[in-house]
Amino acid sequence: MLVKKYGEYALITGASSGIGKEFAISLAKEGFNLFLVARRAKELDSLAQELRETSKVDVIVHATDLTSQNSVEELEVYTQNIDIGLVILNAGMQTHGSFIKTSLVEQEKMLELNVMIPMKMAHIFANRLVKKGSGSIIFLSSTFAYQAVPYFSNYAASKSYILNFAEALHVELAPKGVDVLALSPGLTKTEMPDKIAMDFSKMPISMMETDAVVYTALNALKDKKSSVIPGGRNKMMAFMAQKMMSRASIANMFGSMNVKAMEASIL
């Protein structure tokens, strides 16, 4: 059981919906107490209530905007006396469409949430876990991390950072008893793709369910893998990007697929 191996509590950022919520449900079933983070207090409270009743675990809710000033420092203080053994750095946002048409403020906010916040939290929690001699950190990357993706240029680049960062930390922290996993889902049924002005039926991909993504991640963690891509088709796309096509060809391929599938107004 992961809970015996790592510690009493799992901390999950972005637990109010999608993949983060699914992690909360699965880890409660594994017997983890939970420390849930996201902005929407109402969603977190109702999930917490449900999990306390169904899984008989303790659930602490911390509603915060992670991009607000001092959010990470506050989290560091609030969690200092809690035995957190598993940290899931999942909260994320996406920008898409023509880079030059998108707002610079949104692009900066995305880099803060997708890159700076997980890096800062990893620094705090990796230090604590190393001191404890056990624990784990899961980072949310994406299959977009495996190549340049025109019209998701900054988002895909943020996920490439996370993939490389997590795989490097896996090597650094394994001898110190801390397991690190980069989880790179492909398109997954959550609120995130709902917000994209795009016809996904024009893409050669299928959407995965969140439970399959989380199941794959937890098995990869148990197997001490450094990196995992859920789904055969997603694995194949990443393999093609890395081994079968040049970087320029795969970027051009994604560019033309996205132009066909995205609404003209955002291109």
Ligand X SMILES: NC(=O)c1ccc[n+]([C@@H]2O[C@H](COP(=O)([O-])OP(=O)(O)OC[C@H]3O[C@@H](n4cnc5c(N)ncnc54)[C@H](OP(=O)(O)O)[C@@H]3O)[C@@H](O)[C@H]2O)c1
Among residues 21, 146, 151, 159, the one annotated as catalytic is 159
The answer to whether 263 and 196 are in contact (CB under 8 A) is no
Per-residue x/- mask for ligand X, residues 40 to 59, rule CB under 6 A?
x--x----------------
**242 to 18, 53, 144, 199, 238: CA distances (angstroms):** 28, 46, 12, 26, 6
| Nearer to ligand X among residue 15 and residue 25 (C-beta) | 15
Q: Tell me which of 3, 5, 8, 39 binds ligand X, using CB under 6 A.
A: 39
* 5's tokens: 């191996």
18 lies in the binding site for ligand X (CB under 6 A): yes
Does the annotation mark 159 as catalytic?
Answer: yes
- Residue 47 CB, nearest approach to ligand X (Å): 10
Residue 229 within binding range of ligand X, rule CB under 6 A: no
**Residue 215 CB contacts under 8 Å (≥ 6 apart), including other chains:** 26
Segment 82 to 121, residues that bind ligand X, using CB under 6 A: 90-93, 113
Kindly indicate which of the ranges 34-42, 80-88, 99-107, 122-130 contains the residues binding ligand X, using the contact rule CB under 6 A. 34-42
Query: SS3 of 227, please?
Result: strand
Report yes or no: 206 and 160 within 8 Å, Cβ to Cβ.
no
Residue 224 among the catalytic residues: no
Q: CB neighbours (10 Å) of residue 41?
A: 13
Which candidate, 91, 92, 88, places its Cα nearest to that of 9? Answer: 88
Catalytic site residues? 155, 159
Q: Summarize as ranges the residues that interact with ligand X (CB under 6 A).
A: 14-20, 38-40, 43, 65-67, 90-93, 113, 140, 142, 185, 187-188, 190-193
